[in-house]
Structure 1
Amino acid sequence: MTIASTLRLSLCTAAVSAISMFGLVGCSNSATETATDDAVVTTDKPAKTLAITQIVEHPSLDEIRRGLLEELADNGYVEGENLTVNFQSAQGNLATAGQIAKQFAGDLPDAIVAISTPSAQSIVSSTTTVPVIYTAISDPLAAKLIDDKNVPFQSNVTGLSSQLPIEPQLDLIQKIAPNAKTIGYVYSPGEANSVTVLNQLKQAAPARGLEILDLTANRPTDVAMATRSLGGRADVIYTSLDNNVVSAFEAMASAANELKIPVIASDEFSVRRGATAALGVNDYDFGRVTGKMVYRVLNDEAVNTIKPQVMNDLTLYVSPKHAQAQGVSLSADLLKDAINVDDVDKK
């Protein structure tokens, strides 16, 4: 879904638009005016253009984008007033991601936000001059966005990542399925972050007496089949923020319900969509923090002075309803430390 065209709007154009909508008059080179019921609010920020791309549209990435735009609006950059936003999704296609990256590089916006690892890799390979802020990245080092000293390989790049430690994820799995011996992991081998998680699982699992059974899903349409093939072979399914899997999460959850295998995920929305539980960052908050970095760039701060950041504040989300459908129950001890999405959805 395209939020706005890539054309830069002048402030005068924005004011003319306001005249037609709200009956305002006047045009300024330094501010735009919007009408409210009580007063006229002046936004004293110069007009800027922002390009945003993500590999696919799904609730987790969409929530990050929402948080980002609301953070900018709260700090004076309001879409449709003094901020022109061009959003494009690659719809899960890497070739399309590359085409979007080339278009954005040629458009020369004030900044580009790349949401997800594949989108970030495509954007960074397409421009060395336009400021790029990556987000929703699990392992920027493996994605070759930064080096082992947390320094971006290109001076026009910075961003926010969430490198979820694997041990708490395994702790959660063993609390929910204490008798589990085999963890099924469905992933896309083309996503560097998913490969990193697989390697972490394989390194940490043996010490806990666990085995990892990994199956590939190169497209969202492969997710259901890969999940069903875990029947009789895996005791629990773990999924990280693999975009192919998250795009088709209802298919995974449906197959897991049939097989009575609990699914443990890494984001709130996967729990809302069918997982038993997830331990991950709050996507909206992740977007707000990303928005703070984007604001600094739009406010003319040099991108190479903004260090890449990591956000690892973890929240536990659970769904007793989905747990029951997948053949497990959640202990009172686990529930007391979690956000129960079943209760939230009732409100």
Structure 2
Amino acid sequence: MKPLPEPFQRLSLAFTLILLAAAMLLWSDRHSRHADVEPRQAGTPIPVALLTHSSNPLLEETQAGIMAGLADKVFRDGAQIKINLYNPEGDLPTGNLMAQKIASGTDKLAISISTVMLQALANANRQGKIPHVFGAVTSPVGAGVGIQSLDTLNKPPQLTGIGTPQPVADIFRLAKKLNPNLKTVGVVWNPAEVNSEICTQRARDIARELGITLLEAPAEQTKDVREAAESLVSRGVEAFWTGGDATVNNALDSLMDVAQGARLPVFSNMAGHVRRGGLFDLGANYFEVGQEVGHVAGDILAGANPARLPVRDFVPRRLLLNEKVRQTVRGDWRFPEDIQAQAAEIIRVDGSTQRIAASDTAPASSTPANTPPPQTPATPQAGTATAPLDHT
């Protein structure tokens, strides 16, 4: 066979060199083409950012659940992962700065706790530089971070997590059952929090249905909560209700002080407030919520693509009663036997705590879980960290 003419040989060589250069570029860029957790050397912990809104029992319970959920997936802090904790203690400007640091930093996965921190981190991470998992959020769709609907993939590809809407209508129905003469309920809430706005609107709707007057007092900062609560007492409320408001939750002791001074009960959708002086709670078990968040985060660390994980709701309900407080408040409040049988926990008159069997059923045909200990349980034995998969 005759050799190709010299011009064709040069052209063939040029094409070959171009193909080799393109292949090298594609190989060197293989990681940047995926919002991915980069493979780590064996034994090197993967850095994970955890952004929480503040230090309070509910968010700490969620955080403990997240750690347990990660451990279920064999990702333990100090072994396979290294948790970098960020906590602005309720200060939003500081939270925004922390979110920006996370989005531009070296962590390979970010987890946020609360609606406010979801918003802060999602806004800072709009370019999708880091996978983001969230939890303890009342309404992921209502948070305004690009999640269009639940149980679909119509959302930012780097973002996924767990929504936990408060059972507002059910707790008002339960309040009416425990005190049929209840006519006026007060709520302190922060209009700047979308999660609180959603809960308050639901409260308005169910109060209207039940013939209850809902009196509202705004509190834009924690220091405003006490004065707002006192204004509601002067307006004649017969009880306080708290929903998913982070501002009020961070100043709960102020609200409880006012309520106790007026001998008024507090009922809450944030399960756990009975331990701080509330009459009864009907809300989520946030330890179990955190576990679900940790499972999702663990799946992503193991290689799952967050773009293919839909956002979903998860509300493991828990009813808590405080018989000791019931003895001190005004009004004809009663805990019938059928309601006590549905409680996960009852604080008795002597201050002791009775925990009920896990098979009991919470109001509105929901199934609660026993109150788990607020700590990370023992974790499975694990070897070195597994290199996560590409998110293809």
TM-score (norm 1): 0.83
- The Cα offsets for residues 185-206 of structure 1, whole Å up to 9 and x where unpaired, read as 1111111110001111112221
Q: In 1, Cα distance between the equivalents of 2:167 and 2:87?
A: 29
- The Cα offsets for residues 309-331 of structure 1, whole Å up to 9 and x where unpaired, read as 21123121111112223334433
Q: In 2, Cα distance between the equivalents of 1:69 and 1:266?
A: 24
Runs of 4+ with >3 A deviation: 148-153, 343-347
- The Cα offsets for residues 158-191 of structure 1, whole Å up to 9 and x where unpaired, read as 1101123432121112123321112211111111
Letter in 2 for 1:283: Y
Letter in 2 for 1:338: A
Per the alignment, residue 277 of structure 2 pairs with 274
Q: Secondary structure at the match of 1:264?
A: strand
Letter in 2 for 1:147: Q
1:330 aligns with 2:335: yes
Query: Between Structure 1 and Structure 2, how many residues are aligned?
Result: 308
Letter in 2 for 1:324: Q
Calculate the aligned-residue CA RMSD, in Å.
2.1
Per the alignment, residue 285 of structure 1 pairs with 288
Look at both structures and tell me which one has the larger radius of gyration over its CA atoms.
2
Per the alignment, residue 162 of structure 2 pairs with 160
C-alpha displacement of 1:108: 3.4
The answer to which structure, 1 or 2, has the higher relative contact order (CA under 8 A, 6+ apart) is: 2
Q: Which segment drifts farther, 112-121 or 329-338?
A: 329-338
Per the alignment, residue 243 of structure 1 pairs with 246
The 1:226–1:88 alpha-carbon spacing in structure 2 relative to 1, beyond 3 Å, is: same
C-alpha displacement of 1:61: 0.5
C-alpha displacement of 1:234: 1.2
Letter in 2 for 1:51: A
Per the alignment, residue 17 of structure 1 pairs with none
Q: Which segment drifts farther, 57-66 or 263-272?
A: 263-272
Q: Secondary structure at the match of 1:222?
A: helix
Per the alignment, residue 223 of structure 1 pairs with 225
Q: In 2, Cα distance between the equivalents of 1:151 and 1:230?
A: 43
Per the alignment, residue 3 of structure 1 pairs with none
Q: In 1, Cα distance between the equivalents of 2:313 and 2:190?
A: 23
Q: How does 1:71-220 map to 2 (within 5 A)?
A: 71-127=69-125, 128-129=127-128, 130-145=130-145, 146-148=147-149, 150-151=152-153, 153-220=155-222
1:256 aligns with 2:267: no
Per the alignment, residue 307 of structure 1 pairs with 310
Q: In 1, Cα distance between the equivalents of 2:158 and 2:109?
A: 10
Q: In 2, Cα distance between the equivalents of 1:345 and 1:157?
A: 43
The 1:302–1:92 alpha-carbon spacing in structure 2 relative to 1, beyond 3 Å, is: same
Q: Secondary structure at the match of 1:169?
A: helix
Q: In 2, Cα distance between the equivalents of 1:83 and 1:266?
A: 33
The 1:108–1:143 alpha-carbon spacing in structure 2 relative to 1, beyond 3 Å, is: same
Q: Which segment drifts farther, 322-331 or 247-256?
A: 322-331
C-alpha displacement of 1:70: 1.8
Q: In 2, Cα distance between the equivalents of 1:120 and 1:203?
A: 27
Q: In 1, Cα distance between the equivalents of 2:159 and 2:73?
A: 22
Which of 322, 339, 347 is matched with 1:342 structurally?
347
Q: In 1, Cα distance between the equivalents of 2:143 and 2:264?
A: 31
Q: Secondary structure at the match of 1:160?
A: strand
Letter in 2 for 1:48: I
1:30 aligns with 2:32: no
TM-score (norm 2): 0.74
The 1:316–1:306 alpha-carbon spacing in structure 2 relative to 1, beyond 3 Å, is: same
- The Cα offsets for residues 116-144 of structure 1, whole Å up to 9 and x where unpaired, read as 01100010001132111111000111111
Cα contact 1:272–1:341 (8 A) shared by 2: no
Q: In 2, Cα distance between the equivalents of 1:152 and 1:214?
A: 35
Gaps in structure 1 of 5+ consecutive residues: 1-9, 12-28, 32-45
Identical pairs, percent: 23
C-alpha displacement of 1:243: 1.1
Q: In 2, Cα distance between the equivalents of 1:321 and 1:180?
A: 20
Q: In 2, Cα distance between the equivalents of 1:201 and 1:164?
A: 11
C-alpha displacement of 1:218: 1.2
